[in-house]
Chain A
Amino acid sequence: MKRLIAMGLLLALVLVGVGTTQAQPTRIIVYSALPDLETTMVNREFTRRTGISVEALSVAAAGTIAARIRAEKDKPRADIFTGGSRDFHIPLAREGLLLAYKSPAFAEAKVSPVYIDPNGFWHGWYLGALAIIINTDRWDREMVPRRVPKPATWDDFLRPEFRGHFIMPSPITTGGGYIFVAAQIFRLGEDRAWAYLRALNANASQFTPTAPGTITLLARGEGIVGMQWAHEGIGARLAGMQPLETIVPPDTGFEVGAVSIIKGGPNPEGAKAYVDFLASRTPQDINAKFGYRYPVRADVPVPMGATRFEDLKFVKYDLAWSIENMTRVRERWTREIGR
């Protein structure tokens, strides 16, 4: 009897291990910087259309995924890096970690070449703009009686009334946080930008490790004002009675949400099919409807409640500079802001 129990346990141990490690040729592995909901819906549609199944790891911070891809460069585990600003894809391409592929589907869909890497290392498939987010509940209760005007520019974040009530995503782990910091540098010049950021730090209650984390805390009233992607704010308000207002200020930063193929991944053919698929209407529509992100296809309707992308006023964003200086800027942030 005891022998039987022991043998049974050993057998179970062996069986549990087997069956989980075999590779399937008709499967791709996706690292996604988009939330689970959009990732899952897009992937289901991909599997339905191509018969290729998808295993996805969704981590709501593009920096985390880029870090994983670097850590695994000797033996890449995934095929696709989707979501997250192209700012996170371009350095990976430079380090030789991405596979060049010029998707014919993107050309067919008449996606503006501005959103596609000329070398084919990444394809932009959605767009977003940074915005001021306000918790209107707390605003009405605490700021209206003090006659504080609603913030309309990035500089308004520095008002003394906001001390301890400002929240934004960390520039170390999130694309939005980094683009915001870069936008300040393009807007003010390097020295004034860091003075601005130090003053902002004095007002900040938190820098959240993921982008949606900021919205959650704002929606829950843990902060009054914050900085985040406009689509996150709109999404949270529409999704469920969240008291949020979204204002896109002038000199805002924007992202081109990209997809790229990881070089040396297990299934490059499946990965190419995935990139082609993202140029089609359905995934862009899913992302616009459920994530409120702007599609790159002109024939997909813009998300509810959003200003047209062309009508927003962007800072003169020097993409090459922002990529070139990413490590230096993040290190300076760590040194000077320290959180």
Chain B
Amino acid sequence: MVAESVAVIRWGEVRRQAGDPGVALAFIGAALMLGLFVLYPAFRVLVYPALQDYLDIPKSVRWMQAARNSMVMMVISTLTATLSGLIFAFAVTRPDVPGRRFFRNIAVLPIFAPPFMVAFAYILMFGRQGLITKTVLGLDANIFGWHGLWLVQTVAFFPLAMLIIIGVLEGINPSMEHAARNLGADEWAVVRTISLALARPGIAGAALVVAISVLADFGNAVVIAGGFPLLATEAWFRMEGLADLKGAALVVAMLIVPTTCLFLLERYWVSRRVYTTVTGRGSRVERPPTHPVLKWGTFLFCVLMSLMVGLVYFGVVAGSLTAVWGRDWTLSLTHWRLAMDRIPTLWASVKIGAMAGIITGVVGVAVAFLTSRRLPLRHVLDFLAVLPGALPGVFIGVGFVLAFNRPPVELVGTPWILALALAFWHLPMGYQAAVATLKQVERSIEEAATNLGASGMRVLWDIYVPLLRPAFLGAFTVSFIRSVTNVSIVVFLVTPGNIVATFAILNMIGNGIWGGAAALTTMLLLITFASVGMAQAVVGRTMRSTPMG
């Protein structure tokens, strides 16, 4: 991405930059670090099974079934999640849909939730003892299975689609709509030929990001999918149930093929096309009023979806406060007392999340700075920094176990293995945020400094570090939230001394301590919100959405 801005490499400058010992050393350091924590674990996973093991995959009925199930879930969940995201984004970017600010805020809530929370809350709401299905409607509904997972993934991932599509819709110049209307187009024609047509790359990009997330989703699948084999849960089953590292490596290798394809599509096809209209953003023209049918239709849809999101939070909080869900609705604090025992796991989550956040921030900013230099091989560095976006969490988890459980680099058993795995998995977000910020920096400032004799490191320290502070804090925040709520990586790497909250919650669900699990989840949410609130107060601006895997 950065690379495109400079078409020709000027060798004189290459020599100058490479000759700067600070920059050259930093470059080598960053390359080594990415090689060690991104390429090496991926390599270890892929070469762990023998070639014959790969060739035998089609013979395994269960794996083919898991692969098929994963593909079906990906297609249907992506369709519904992207469509919901699109409708939501449309409503939120219209000036006259009532409650749009509220909708926008409520829709991002699932992003803060640990990945199993939607599934867990919906069992409480729509299961056989569900508040809505049984108590309110008197139905006997079985939510376990593919249909439950479908519902859950739709609600869990539509915010991702929404955030991406909003960005595109906001970039469409309203004067185009005015023009179309003046030329006699009716409401539907305007939406179809302008809003939807121009948003097409955004929608496609959103769909691809959602598809990657659905494929790799572990937390929801493990809680609600029941006996429905999927690739993401099968890897866990193989490794944690059968001690079959080879099987686990094979399954995650199967998972990486579609995610990498989707990722490359997103990155090199969708994000390259420019669909922005000539004037782009910044137009002051008011958007024309929305057709009443469209306005109230989308409004109703948003109310419904907001309700579904609200139920997730309501289910978890209420579940932590009622004596026995579905049987005894008395208010009770017993579950909270039970969860108090696990407070050390919350502390471990915050500690490891902070470590991961700092590493993501520092490495992301440093690599963005280096790839903006005219150095040879910077494309390689750029690719390595975005690559983890294509890797599913279970893949990273298995990779780190295989790569770092013995010398020379032995990290299993220390908090570092968790922090590093989480940090490098979230690196693409931190990196891309830093790249975007760097692009806005006028190069002449640097040239002036250089002409005055400042070294590369001096330029970095005095010019770029202050300018990149918001990028660092943004990367830190995203990485922190997602590390604190992560399940798919920690489930493989947690050790007795470093039990994090999401692992403890999943264990409580497995042990049938649902009230306690709900209480601990509520505490985790409070901590996440408090941390984000603090980070926002520091940065003083809202966080930008970034695609995530």
A-B interface contact total, Cβ < 8 Å: 153
**CB closest chain-A residue, reference B413:** A77
The verdict on A172 contacting B469 (CB below 8 Å), with A12-B358, A209-B237, A222-B127 known, is no
Q: Which residues of chain B have C-beta atoms less than 8 A from A205's C-beta? A: 142, 144, 226-227
Mask: chain B, 509-524; 1 = CB below 8 Å from A; 0 = not? 1111110000000000
Chain A stretch 189-239: residues in CB contact (< 8 A) with chain B: 204-207, 209-210, 212-213, 215-216, 219-222, 236
Q: Are B496 and A55 in contact (CB under 8 A)?
A: yes
Q: In this assembly, does B166 line the interface, its C-beta being within 8 Å of a C-beta of chain A?
A: no
Q: Are B512 and A215 in contact (CB under 8 A)?
A: yes
Mask: chain B, 342-360; 1 = CB below 8 Å from A; 0 = not? 0000000001001100110
Q: Are B510 and A210 in contact (CB under 8 A)?
A: yes
Q: Which residues of chain A have C-beta atoms less than 8 A from B511's C-beta? A: 35-36, 60, 210, 212-213, 216
Chain A stretch 297-339: residues in CB contact (< 8 A) with chain B: 330, 334-335, 338-339
Mask: chain B, 486-527; 1 = CB below 8 Å from A; 0 = not? 000000001111110000000111111110000000000000
Q: Are B414 and A21 in contact (CB under 8 A)?
A: yes
Nearest chain A CB to B420's CB is how many angstroms away?
11
The 8 Å CB contact of B327, one of A56, A63, A210, A241, is A241
The verdict on A74 contacting B469 (CB below 8 Å), with A61-B241, A63-B241, A220-B127 known, is no
Chain B stretch 345-388: residues in CB contact (< 8 A) with chain A: 351, 354-355, 358-359, 362
Q: Which residues of chain B have C-beta atoms less than 8 A from A220's C-beta? A: 127-129, 325-326
Q: In this assembly, does A17 line the interface, its C-beta being within 8 Å of a C-beta of chain B?
A: yes
Q: Which residues of chain A have C-beta atoms less than 8 A from B156's C-beta? A: none
Q: Are B495 and A57 in contact (CB under 8 A)?
A: yes
Q: How large is the interface on B (under 10, 10 to 19, 20 to 34, 35 or more residues)?
A: 35 or more
Chain A stretch 1-58: residues in CB contact (< 8 A) with chain B: 2, 5-6, 9, 12-13, 16-17, 20-21, 29-31, 35-36, 40, 55-58
The verdict on A209 contacting B405 (CB below 8 Å), with A6-B465, A57-B494, A220-B326 known, is no
State A4–B419 Cα separation when bound (angstroms). Answer: 23
Q: Are A219 and B412 in contact (CB under 8 A)?
A: no
Q: Are B61 and A338 in contact (CB under 8 A)?
A: yes
State A81–B186 Cα separation when bound (angstroms). Answer: 72
Q: Which residues of chain A have C-beta atoms less than 8 A from B48's C-beta? A: none
Mask: chain B, 118-144; 1 = CB below 8 Å from A; 0 = not? 000000000111000000000000101
Which of A65-73, A100-108, A118-126 participates in binding chain B? Answer: A65-73
State A60–B496 Cα separation when bound (angstroms). Answer: 14
**CB closest chain-A residue, reference B504:** A36
Q: In this assembly, does A286 line the interface, its C-beta being within 8 Å of a C-beta of chain B?
A: no
Interface size (A, Cβ < 8 Å)?
63
The verdict on A71 contacting B239 (CB below 8 Å), with A221-B128, A221-B326, A335-B61 known, is yes
Mask: chain B, 195-235; 1 = CB below 8 Å from A; 0 = not? 00000000000000000000000000010001111000000
Chain B stretch 317-334: residues in CB contact (< 8 A) with chain A: 323-328
State A222–B354 Cα separation when bound (angstroms). Answer: 39
State A68–B62 Cα separation when bound (angstroms). Answer: 23
Q: In this assembly, does B288 line the interface, its C-beta being within 8 Å of a C-beta of chain A?
A: no
Nearest chain A CB to B122's CB is how many angstroms away?
13
Nearest chain A CB to B355's CB is how many angstroms away?
6
State A16–B358 Cα separation when bound (angstroms). Answer: 11
Q: In this assembly, does A64 line the interface, its C-beta being within 8 Å of a C-beta of chain B?
A: yes
The 8 Å CB contact of A209, one of B128, B241, B242, B497, is B241
Q: Are A16 and B128 in contact (CB under 8 A)?
A: no
State A209–B228 Cα separation when bound (angstroms). Answer: 12
Nearest chain B CB to A313's CB is how many angstroms away?
28
Q: In this assembly, does A78 line the interface, its C-beta being within 8 Å of a C-beta of chain B?
A: yes
Q: Which residues of chain B have C-beta atoms less than 8 A from A66's C-beta? A: 243
State A29–B498 Cα separation when bound (angstroms). Answer: 12
Nearest chain B CB to A13's CB is how many angstroms away?
5
Q: Are A2 and B128 in contact (CB under 8 A)?
A: no
Nearest chain A CB to B410's CB is how many angstroms away?
7
Q: Are B62 and A334 in contact (CB under 8 A)?
A: yes
Q: In this assembly, does A149 line the interface, its C-beta being within 8 Å of a C-beta of chain B?
A: no
**CB closest chain-B residue, reference A335:** B61
Nearest chain B CB to A50's CB is how many angstroms away?
18
Nearest chain A CB to B499's CB is how many angstroms away?
7
**CB closest chain-A residue, reference B497:** A55
Nearest chain A CB to B183's CB is how many angstroms away?
54
Q: Are B406 and A75 in contact (CB under 8 A)?
A: yes
Q: In this assembly, does B171 line the interface, its C-beta being within 8 Å of a C-beta of chain A?
A: no
Q: Which residues of chain B have C-beta atoms less than 8 A from A173's C-beta? A: 237, 240-241
Q: In this assembly, does B341 line the interface, its C-beta being within 8 Å of a C-beta of chain A?
A: yes
Q: Which residues of chain A have C-beta atoms less than 8 A from B531's C-beta? A: none
The verdict on A212 contacting B510 (CB below 8 Å), with A13-B358, A221-B128, A339-B228 known, is yes
Q: Which residues of chain A have C-beta atoms less than 8 A from B326's C-beta? A: 220-221
Most buried by A among B327, B412, B414: B327
**CB closest chain-B residue, reference A173:** B241
Q: In this assembly, does B416 line the interface, its C-beta being within 8 Å of a C-beta of chain A?
A: yes
**CB closest chain-A residue, reference B515:** A240
Q: In this assembly, does B455 line the interface, its C-beta being within 8 Å of a C-beta of chain A?
A: no
State A221–B327 Cα separation when bound (angstroms). Answer: 10
State A61–B128 Cα separation when bound (angstroms). Answer: 25
State A20–B498 Cα separation when bound (angstroms). Answer: 9
Q: In this assembly, does B49 line the interface, its C-beta being within 8 Å of a C-beta of chain A?
A: no
The verdict on A221 contacting B415 (CB below 8 Å), with A60-B507, A172-B241, A215-B512 known, is no
Q: Which residues of chain B have C-beta atoms less than 8 A from A61's C-beta? A: 240-241, 510
Mask: chain B, 405-427; 1 = CB below 8 Å from A; 0 = not? 11000101111100000000000
**CB closest chain-A residue, reference B465:** A2
Q: In this assembly, does A164 line the interface, its C-beta being within 8 Å of a C-beta of chain B?
A: yes
Q: Which residues of chain A have C-beta atoms less than 8 A from B499's C-beta? A: 57
Q: Are A204 and B496 in contact (CB under 8 A)?
A: no
The 8 Å CB contact of A222, one of B128, B228, B242, is B128
Nearest chain B CB to A211's CB is how many angstroms away?
9
State A74–B498 Cα separation when bound (angstroms). Answer: 21
Q: Are A16 and B354 in contact (CB under 8 A)?
A: yes
Q: Are B62 and A240 in contact (CB under 8 A)?
A: no
State A223–B78 Cα separation when bound (angstroms). Answer: 31
Most buried by A among B128, B229, B245, B410: B128
Q: Are B466 and A2 in contact (CB under 8 A)?
A: yes
Q: Are B514 and A16 in contact (CB under 8 A)?
A: no
Q: Which residues of chain B have C-beta atoms less than 8 A from A221's C-beta? A: 128-129, 326
State A13–B129 Cα separation when bound (angstroms). Answer: 46
Q: Which residues of chain B have C-beta atoms less than 8 A from A9's C-beta? A: 358, 362
Q: Are A172 and B237 in contact (CB under 8 A)?
A: yes
Mask: chain A, 175-193; 1 = CB below 8 Å from B; 0 = not? 0000000000000000000
Q: Which residues of chain A have C-beta atoms less than 8 A from B242's C-beta? A: 63, 67, 172, 330
Q: Are A17 and B240 in contact (CB under 8 A)?
A: no
State A298–B474 Cα separation when bound (angstroms). Answer: 62
Q: In this assembly, does B65 line the interface, its C-beta being within 8 Å of a C-beta of chain A?
A: yes
Q: Please, could you name 10 A-B residue pairs with CB atoms under 8 Å apart, sorted by A?
A: A17-B355, A17-B415, A40-B341, A55-B496, A68-B243, A75-B412, A221-B128, A241-B324, A241-B328, A339-B228
Closest 6 CB pairs of A and B: A216-B512, A67-B243, A339-B227, A173-B241, A210-B510, A70-B243
